């Protein structure tokens, strides 16, 4: 079997390649060489980048087999997430890989500013011994103001508390209880600026936060205060910062990031580099061996999961989030039920309820909505369908998909129900299960008919007026065609006297045989179901995904999960 192609577009740590393992065809390309990149993407299933490689709409269009873009770092400015989502390409990053490195660099800037270390070094390196010029300040009992008390902000708080600094913070999304747990006092932004001896900013760059520290905010700071930005360029208005520094409104600044990188000649950031009270570094927040290795290993693991058809916790364009091990085995079952559903529908789907009942109700099962939509659309549309773009297909076609969770489940420990309404006014319902310790996926009911059939590659479903000799009729037809029946379930007749048979066969049945069987049986419903079973190595055992459709009019599908 041909190995999936994983393209390494920038230099990554050897541990990244080791984490991928032997199951992939790993290739290398210079991501900054545009023609070479586009050519290499032609048969790539995954591409790993850092910050220099641009994965935009053009690059995505050149990669018809691409399943995942992995950024070995935090920022995603070089990846067109909107175009990737539309193409069904998962985008992952390593959001926690550099948090310790960024926090430590921030502390380094604080110390460098407090003790004037870079300027003193430069002076001494020139042969000068002017100690009086570099009198600094202690951090002891000074106030550090942290704008953005997320993971990095919390790490900085812990480290600077060891210097006996008073720590205050501004973050509208952090509760007072969380701040108290960190030993931090929450204040307004104005209060933080007015009280702090050092201000460090750790916010994401958005239209709301761009330039959030401008001339007005800088004027509120103490003349002896310093401002540090190791987060994102542009959070501080660089023109306003230059004016404040040259006018003596604040004492100094520490900058690792700039609005334009590298700072352009004649630009506002370039002017800051020449000021004696500014400490600068060339975007080194994640530039430690440990951070690079963590980022590479993290995204390598994400790539493996994505190419195995699994959901990835660090995917930025999939609304799945972290998946509990108890929930994970049911994903493939729900996807197959969605594929069954698409085949059963005689007309377009208008709404779909994914009902989860039983013990699973205590868990976050939002991923089941994605799995059901992915399964349903996999044979409905010509484009590649993934967990990423399945909700887009639903939105484009006006399909309302709703997740319903109930603890009550009288018959099964867990049951997942796909209940849909079709454009012709009919409804569909089906039922399946993961049975036993091996978690075998089974269909256990179709539109009120009770059955128990393991989901295999080839099935036949037929409904007919119940009478003796039916099994012999279709058994003879299949035998004459040399097609073996591997399994058979006949559900009891309904109130109208019609029975339902579900057969598992070893190979596809030719159309002419299907027609002869339907006529001989007198079936008002007769469908062949071809399920493409794609084994995925999930954390809780094997899963199954992919599928082909089969159609039954006016039915409802129930999906059952037996944990």
* CA pair distance 385, 379, nearest whole angstrom: 9
In this structure, are residues 490 and 463 in contact, taking their beta carbons and an 8 Å threshold? no
Name the 3-class secondary structure at 337: helix
In this structure, are residues 215 and 246 in contact, taking their beta carbons and an 8 Å threshold? no
Among residues 294, 293, 285, 296, which one has the least CA distance to residue 104? 285
Answer yes or no: 301 catalytic: no
Answer yes or no: 249 catalytic: no
Tokens of 365: 């099962």
* CA pair distance 242, 354, nearest whole angstrom: 56
Length of the chain, please?
A: 563
Answer yes or no: 232 catalytic: yes
Instruction: Pick the catalytic residue from 115, 151, 283, 534.
Output: 283
Instruction: Pick the catalytic residue from 71, 109, 232, 458.
Output: 232
* CA pair distance 369, 377, nearest whole angstrom: 12
CA torsion sign for 379, 381, 385, 390 is negative
Count CA atoms within 13 Å of residue 364 on its CB side. 8
Among residues 186, 231, 180, which one has the least CA distance to residue 210? 231
Torsion of CA 126, 128, 134, 138, to 10 degrees: 80
Q: 476 CB contacts (<8 Å, ≥6 apart)?
A: none
* Beta pairing class for 349-358 and 226-229: unpaired
Any idea what DSSP says for residue 360? G
Q: Per DSSP, what are the bridge partners of residue 458?
A: 530
In this structure, are residues 553 and 523 in contact, taking their beta carbons and an 8 Å threshold? no
Q: How far is CA 219 from the centre of its chain?
A: 41
In this structure, are residues 198 and 145 in contact, taking their beta carbons and an 8 Å threshold? yes
CA torsion sign for 511, 513, 514, 515 is positive
Instruction: Pick the catalytic residue from 261, 290, 395, 406.
Output: 261
Residue positions annotated with a catalytic role: 232, 261, 283
């Amino acid at each position: 079997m041909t190995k999936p192609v994983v393209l390494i577009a920038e230099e990554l740590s050897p541990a990244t390649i080791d984490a991928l393992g032997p199951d992939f065809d790993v290739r290398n390309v210079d991501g900054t060489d545009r023609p070479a990149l586009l050519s290499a993407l032609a048969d790539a299933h995954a591409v790993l980048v850092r910050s220099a490689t641009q994965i935009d709409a053009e690059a995505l269009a050149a990669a018809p087999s691409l399943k995942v873009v992995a950024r070995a770092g935090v920022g995603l400015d070089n990846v067109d997430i909107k175009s990737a989502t539309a193409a069904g390409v998962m985008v992952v990053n390593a959001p926690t890989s550099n948090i310790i490195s960024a926090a430590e660099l921030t502390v380094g800037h604080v110390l460098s500013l407090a003790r004037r270390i870079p300027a003193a070094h430069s002076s001494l390196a020139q042969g000068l011994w002017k100690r009086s010029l570099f009198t600094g300040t202690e951090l002891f009992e000074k106030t550090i103001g942290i704008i953005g008390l997320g993971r990095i902000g919390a790490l900085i708080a812990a480290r600077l508390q060891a210097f006996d600094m008073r720590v205050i913070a501004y973050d509208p999304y952090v509760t007072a209880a969380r701040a108290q747990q960190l030993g931090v006092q929450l204040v307004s932004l104005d209060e933080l600026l007015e009280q702090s001896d050092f201000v460090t900013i750790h916010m994401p760059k958005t239209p709301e936060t761009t330039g959030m520290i401008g001339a007005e905010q800088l004027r509120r700071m103490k003349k002896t205060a310093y401002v540090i930005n190791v987060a994102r360029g542009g959070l501080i208005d660089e023109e306003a910062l230059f004016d404040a520094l040259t006018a003596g409104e604040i004492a100094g600044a520490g900058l690792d990031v700039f609005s334009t990188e590298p700072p352009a000649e004649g630009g506002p950031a370039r002017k800051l580099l020449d000021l004696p009270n500014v400490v600068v570094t060339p975007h080194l927040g994640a530039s430690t061996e440990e951070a690079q290795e963590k980022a590479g290993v993290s995204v390598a693991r994400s790539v493996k999961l994505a190419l195995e058809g699994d959901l990835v916790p660090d995917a930025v364009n999939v609304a799945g989030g972290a998946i509990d091990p108890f929930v994970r085995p049911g994903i493939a079952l729900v996807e197959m039920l969605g594929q069954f559903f698409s085949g059963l529908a005689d007309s377009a789907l208008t709404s779909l309820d994914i009902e989860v009942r039983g013990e699973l109700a205590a868990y976050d099962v939002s991923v089941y909505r994605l799995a059901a939509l992915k399964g349903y659309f996999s044979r409905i549309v010509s484009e590649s369908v993934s967990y990423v773009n399945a909700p887009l297909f639903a939105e484009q076609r006006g399909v309302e998909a709703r997740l319903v969770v109930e603890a009550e489940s009288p018959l099964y420990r867990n049951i997942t129900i796909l209940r849909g309404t079709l454009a012709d006014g009919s409804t569909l319902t089906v039922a399946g299960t993961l049975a036993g310790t091996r978690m075998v996926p089974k269909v256990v009911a179709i539109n009120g008919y009770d059955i128990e059939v393991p989901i295999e590659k080839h099935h036949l479903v037929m409904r007919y007026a119940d009478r003796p000799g039916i099994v012999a009729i279709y058994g003879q037809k299949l035998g004459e065609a040399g097609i073996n029946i591997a399994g058979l379930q006949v559900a009891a007749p309904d109130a109208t006297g019609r029975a339902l048979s579900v057969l598992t066969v070893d190979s596809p049945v030719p159309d002419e045989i299907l027609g002869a069987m339907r006529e001989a049986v007198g079936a008002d419903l007769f469908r062949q179901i071809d399920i493409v079973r794609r084994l995925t190595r999930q954390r809780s055992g094997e899963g199954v995904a992919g599928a082909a459709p089969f159609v039954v009019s006016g039915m409802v599908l129930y999906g059952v999960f037996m944990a």
